[in-house]
Amino acid sequence: MKRYRRILPVIFGAGMLAAALSGCGGSDGGKQIVRIGHNQATDHPTNIALMEFEEYVESKLGDKYNIEIYPSELLGSQTDMVQLTQTGAIDFCVASNSILETFSENYTLFNLPYLFSSADAYHMAMDDPQIVDPIFESTKKAGFEAVTWIDAGTRNFYTVSTPIESPQDLKGLKIRVQQSPTNVRMMDLLGGSATPMGFGEVYTALQSKVIDGAENNEMALTSNGHGDVCKYYSYDMHQMIPDILIGNCAFMDDLSEEERSIFEEGFALINKVEREEWVKAVEAAKDKAANEQGVQFLYPDTKPFQETCASMHTEMLAQYPDLQPIYDKIQEHNAQHPSEAE
């Protein structure tokens, strides 16, 4: 059953929002309300997959749980939602791996530019428990754990009016990046001026020329309307950053063994459905961007971009040596699935 409560995150800070949510009560006619927040539109693969999760869990445990999905930043920015999940004001949220880096340094790894040699290597690595488990469990002390990953494609630069063919073209441009030290460092190396801000602020910032461009997957052009303002999208392929569904640990620990396994099946379903929907959604987004929004797609040589940020891998491993074995495992997947371009 769906009953969206319009909660205005712009008015409430995360703390006040937490108080408001707990004031709403955690049960609905004896059922426990399970709140899941994310920042995508309702037709986005993430929302479609979460709705399947809702249907699945309620078909098995509907007498006990009422799953409520809050899309489109209704519960605030991703950073707000992670904090709400930590405290248990909400039970789950989808956060970009970039954002999680500020909650646990382990997440820094998946934010490295050019970490994965191909989409196949990325998918195999993210499906490998030896790679993800140590990272996904590393935030338990902070009150949340990752329960599955969600494909968010490849991130590329796009600008209002400057075609990006090489790192030199980024010089002097203000480019929105996600709020993470790795993304700021990457932008510094590539020569643009990093402008960190939340996803929901990007459209207005582009339109009012506070920034000259941004970087994201193709869905941002259509689902978020950025292609109405930005006319050049350059496939420099700098990052494959997953989205992560995180859950409140106290909520997860309170589940009985049987409930837990149904929730686990639901998490696997989210991953499966989202990945299937993703392929279709990106194709449709490219088509719409090119034919309706007039976005020009560019295919620069990715090597100069990659070489410019290559030092970030050694820098990160020197800073977080514990991540070396996981990094090495990723290289095994890279060796098995080399770049499609080679």
Least gap, CB of 72 to ligand GCU (angstroms): 12
DSSP notation for 61-105: HTTTEEEEEE-TTTT--HHHHHHHHHHTSSSEEEEEHHHHTTT-G
96 vs 234, which CB is nearer to ligand GCU?
A: 96
Q: Using CB positions, name the residue nearest to ligand GCU.
A: 199
Q: Which one, 39 or 159, has the nearer CB to ligand GCU?
A: 39
CB of 292 to ligand GCU, least distance (A): 20
* Euclidean distance between CA atoms 337 and 155, whole angstroms: 19
Minimum Å gap between C-beta 197 and ligand GCU is 9
**Nearer to ligand GCU (CB atom), residue 62 or residue 198:** 198
CB neighbour list of residue 152: distance below 8 Å, 6 or more residues apart: 96, 217, 240, 241, 242, 243
**DSSP calls for 32-70:** EEEEEE-SS-TTSHHHHHHHHHHHHHHHHHTTTEEEEEE
Nearer to ligand GCU, 191 or 198 (CB): 198
Question: From the CB of 26, what's the least distance to ligand GCU, in Å?
Answer: 26
CB of 178 to ligand GCU, least distance (A): 5
Site residues, ligand GCU (CB under 6 A): 39, 78, 96, 152, 178, 199, 216, 220, 243
138 or 216, CB closer to ligand GCU? Answer: 216
The CB-of-27 to ligand GCU minimum distance in angstroms stands at 30
Closer by beta carbon to ligand GCU, 86 or else 183:
183
Residue with tokens 């605030």: 76
**282: DSSP letter:** H
Parallel, antiparallel or unpaired: strands 31-37 and 193-196: unpaired
Return d(Cα 324, Cα 125) in angstroms, integer: 15
Tell me how far CA of residue 274 lies from CA of 48, 147, 233, 243, in angstroms. 7, 14, 24, 11
